Structure 1
Amino acid sequence: MGFFDCNNTGKKYFPAFLILFLSLSLIPAMVSAQDTEYEKWKKQQEAEFKEYQDKFDKEFIEMLEKTWEEVGINQGSDFYKERKPITIPKAPPKPTVENTAPKDDTPVRERINIDIPDAPEPEPIKIEIPPKESMFGDIETRSTNINYFSSTIPFEYPTQLRALYSPREFSMRKTDNKRIAEFWDKVSRINHDPIISYSNKVREELKLNDWGYVLLINDFANTVYEGYDKKLVNLYNWFLLTRAGYKVRIGYDQNDVYILFAVEYNVFNTKYYTLDGEQYYVIDLNEDKQTPSSIFTYTGSHQSQSKKLDLTIKEFPNLGDTKNVESRTLEFSFNEKDYSIPVSIDKNLITYFEYFPLTELPVFFTASLSESSKKSIYEKLAPAIADMSEEEAVNFLLRFVQTAFDYKTDQDQFDREKYMIPEETLFYPYSDCDDRSILFANLVQELVGLEVVGLRYSKHLATAVSFTGNNVEGDSHYHSGKKYIVADPTYINASVGMTMTQYKNEKPEIVSLQ
């Protein structure tokens, strides 16, 4: 009997386990059918995208083949109208002024909870290349590693790329727009979607901003075309960054090819070309070349290009080796008491930011200290100011920044203008007015919890602090309805409210730090 009469009722039942068995036996077929449908849909989507991409590549190549225009260079603007002073003054004793307003002596510890981070644990970087078949299919590839600061990043790329040109082909023949269009035609025929997808995965793992991503792509381009002419490396950089959606251009003269970047902010002391109404900066990623007075370049852009280079530093990159730390002791005196502040500096960040573009000040003002620096410096500074009033705490931090560092201009220290993030100011032997202002603003905001603005003079940068009460005396400026008291981290021994004598009659530009 094919059915069971469990209770002798005359009714016959199909066993439950058999129903389950038959149901389960159908699942593989159903899943297989679903997989087949999904694979078909996926392949259709990929084919449509490829057709879409090919169309734009074809249009772009046709545009590149047309006559390029010669464009003259624009000199990059200087942040300061005049050269910064070689020496800095010491402040005279602050005159005693009777202040009848009630003093707010509420200690800092009751206003802000200062978070001293634990010693940072190393964040292991686990970047694995997906199986070759899932990225490139049957295309022959080569595996390699990129040494990105302290991280070793595995990469894979089609071997066809190195077969497109001989190592010295670009240096032996004249470079013009026809050859550049030919380059794009050749390279775009190789599927780069896996490379862009994987580089974005690496970017996310390393917490890179746009600048860090550009450096990653440059390292990859140099690795693929190791031993080849640098012109080819620049062209491949241009191709990859375009594929990634960035507004970059290529230009050439009789000697070289140049990558041009559209950037969200002004980039000071950097030459640029005006193309289609936008500024494109010459940011050399490989070697210190002379920027030509004019280049040949094209008008228009690839359809995939939609974003400018954003230099904002929202978080520091994860560069791998957290043990790459250098120690230094900073010493100063305040109210006849000596202080010794040991600091631990992340050397990876120093290397990473060495040639960071000289962009708008808020980008640097919003950069914090590394976790290792915070722990070492906050452990000493936070307890020292915990029982001080706001004014006394700010004066304490002023004296620290004014006197714990030796002064030297960027031109004298680096032979170029350079803004330093707080970590760099702790590391380098010298600092100037903008570096000290950036560090001081960071410390006041983090340790005292007060708002700070920058004060930009013709050849000097200072800061001003907004106190919670109205009882702090001295020179002041108003911004967005708030009163800010001058606090100059470069004016040696100056207290809150004191402006350098030579800038007493100069109205500064107020720089918002947000």
Structure 2
Amino acid sequence: MKSTFLCLLLFVCLGLQAQAQSFEEYMRQEQEKMKQFEQEQIEAMHRLRNESAAYVAKRDQECADYQKKEWENYSAFAAKELPVKPKPQTSPVFDKSSQIETKTISAARTENLKPEALPPVVEPVRKPAETASNFRTANLNFYNRSLAIPYDPAMRGFVLQGLSQESIGAFWNKISESNYTPAVESLLEAKKELNINDYAYMLLCQYFSKSLYPANANAARLMTWFVMLRSGYSLRVGFNNEAIALLVPTQDQLYQKAYLNLEGINYYIFPDLENNSLYTYDKDYHSGKPVSFGINSPMNLGGKTATRAVSFEFEGKTYDIRLSYDPDLIDFFQYYPLLAFETYFNAPMSVQSREALYTALQPVISEMDEVQAVNFILR
């Protein structure tokens, strides 16, 4: 009986040991599979990175080869003047009886409406970021917003030798060899954070470029061109014996700004030049997107607040109202390109501005009827 019990105990122990060994073997195999999977993922990422780098290098070389061809000379179209419309001789007056009857669009009508085609999403051509320990930081003050943009020191080491397509091509080749991607990605992140439009982003790129080339405006414009291209925009660059200029494509109508028409698209010249005859290339490096000057959302700039007192008469009574505003926005729009008035009127107000305006006007118009309130605001 005792021997039977010992045999049974030995059998159980051997079974448990076998199970333990089987579990350990299972875990070892799973760990080996996991290591193999991780290695395959690393190798796949390396292949993808190498393929991406090879593609960008191929496109960059195509661009460099194309820039060696003879650039053409273009004469710019004269700047268009903003249409002058007669101003009202008297302040407008709201008449409730003259309101236009609004009509509701039927469901059948809306079903036949076709939405406008959206422009295709274009992936920017830029090489994968490389790890580096020698990065510098460009500390920018963009309308009282402090930004720190990392960059490769090789981006600021170019010496521009004259104004020619050869010097522009040399700049392109030199900066394309640098580790430029972290700087471009940081600028694009800042664009999202500040909620700025395309034109404001171009200004931000100019701030960055001037920090790299503070004593050479032409080299700074080339850097702006380079960064905008790597950000997915289809800017071009031109030159004459006076300066290098940015050629900014847009679907918006700009006034008091000379432009070239290339392949049916208006390219506006920045900055203004005395001689608007420019040499440039007639083919895009990459099918990027045009620059939008539209103001579709409020920007997040420095957040400063200033107050202005406004005094006027309405129906024989003097009103003194204090309005709050953002002085950084005033500075931003002071030199904004001239567009149709509708662009500015349709620009959304920030939450702070709306609240400040409501706080100033609500106590006054709350004591008025509808007609008085509208005429007061029109005043």
What band does the TM-score fall into relative to the shorter chain? 0.7 to 0.9
Identity rate of aligned residues, in percent? 24
Could you list the per-position Cα deviations for residues 302-334 of structure 1 after superposition, in whole angstroms to 9, with x for gaps in the alignment?
12x3211012222222224x2x21111212233
Could you list the per-position Cα deviations for residues 372-421 of structure 1 after superposition, in whole angstroms to 9, with x for gaps in the alignment?
3322221232343346554333212112xxxxxxxxxxxxxxxxxxxxxx
Between structures 1 and 2, the one with greater helix share? 2
* Match in the other structure for 1:209: 197
Q: Does the C-alpha gap of structure 1 residues 311 and 24 become closer, same or farther in structure 2, counting only changes over 3 Å? A: farther
Letter in 1 for 2:156: R
* Match in the other structure for 1:151: 145
Task: Tell me which of 239, 251, 262 is aligned to 1:252.
Answer: 239
Q: Does the C-alpha gap of structure 1 residues 362 and 32 become closer, same or farther in structure 2, counting only changes over 3 Å? A: farther
Tell me the TM-score normalised to structure 1 length.
Answer: 0.59
**C-alpha root-mean-square deviation of aligned residues, in Å?**
3.4
* Match in the other structure for 2:163: 175
Shift of 1:27: 6.5
Query: Take 2:98 and 2:276, find their aligned partners in 1: how far apart are those partners?
Result: 60
* Match in the other structure for 1:447: none
Q: Does the C-alpha gap of structure 1 residues 102 and 161 become closer, same or farther in structure 2, counting only changes over 3 Å? A: closer
Could you list the per-position Cα deviations for residues 195-219 of structure 1 after superposition, in whole angstroms to 9, with x for gaps in the alignment?
2222211211221211221111111
* Match in the other structure for 1:377: 357
Q: Give matches, 1:404-419, under 5 Å.
A: none
Classify the secondary structure of the residue corresponding to 1:154: strand
Shift of 1:277: 2.2
Task: Tell me which of 246, 250, 262 is aligned to 1:275.
Answer: 262
Task: Tell me which of 133, 137, 141 is aligned to 2:131.
Answer: 137
Structure 1 residues not aligned, in runs of 5+? 105-133, 400-514
Cα contact 1:77–1:270 (8 A) shared by 2? yes
Task: Tell me which of 297, 310, 316 is aligned to 2:292.
Answer: 310
Tell me the TM-score normalised to structure 2 length.
Answer: 0.79
* Match in the other structure for 1:356: 336
Q: Does the C-alpha gap of structure 1 residues 337 and 19 become closer, same or farther in structure 2, counting only changes over 3 Å? A: farther
Cα contact 1:174–1:254 (8 A) shared by 2? no
Cα contact 2:312–2:319 (8 A) shared by 1? yes
* Match in the other structure for 2:120: none
Q: Does the C-alpha gap of structure 1 residues 395 and 210 become closer, same or farther in structure 2, counting only changes over 3 Å? A: same
Cα contact 2:237–2:245 (8 A) shared by 1? yes
Shift of 1:47: 1.3
Shift of 1:295: 1.0
Q: Does the C-alpha gap of structure 1 residues 10 and 272 become closer, same or farther in structure 2, counting only changes over 3 Å? A: closer
* Match in the other structure for 1:190: 178
Query: Take 2:306 and 2:223, find their aligned partners in 1: how far apart are those partners?
Result: 36
Query: Take 1:138 and 1:91, find their aligned partners in 2: how far apart are those partners?
Result: 63
* Match in the other structure for 1:119: none
Query: Is 2:315 the partner of 1:335?
Result: yes
Shift of 1:29: 5.0
Q: Does the C-alpha gap of structure 1 residues 9 and 26 become closer, same or farther in structure 2, counting only changes over 3 Å? A: closer
Query: Take 2:341 and 2:97, find their aligned partners in 1: how far apart are those partners?
Result: 36
Query: Is 2:60 the partner of 1:57?
Result: yes
Shift of 1:23: 6.9
Could you list the per-position Cα deviations for residues 259-313 of structure 1 after superposition, in whole angstroms to 9, with x for gaps in the alignment?
01001210011111112222110132xxxx534231111111112x321101222
Task: Tell me which of 325, 348, 355 is aligned to 1:368.
Answer: 348
Query: Take 2:34 and 2:327, find their aligned partners in 1: how far apart are those partners?
Result: 53
Task: Tell me which of 73, 76, 91 is aligned to 2:76.
Answer: 73
Classify the secondary structure of the residue corresponding to 1:251: strand
Task: Tell me which of 41, 45, 50 is aligned to 2:44.
Answer: 41
Query: Take 1:328 and 1:394, find their aligned partners in 2: how far apart are those partners?
Result: 22
Query: Take 1:18 and 1:207, find their aligned partners in 2: how far apart are those partners?
Result: 60
* Match in the other structure for 1:393: 373
Q: Give matches, 1:461-500, under 5 Å.
A: none
Query: Take 2:163 and 2:319, find their aligned partners in 1: how far apart are those partners?
Result: 61
Q: Does the C-alpha gap of structure 1 residues 213 and 25 become closer, same or farther in structure 2, counting only changes over 3 Å? A: farther
**More off after superposition, 20-29 vs 259-268:** 20-29
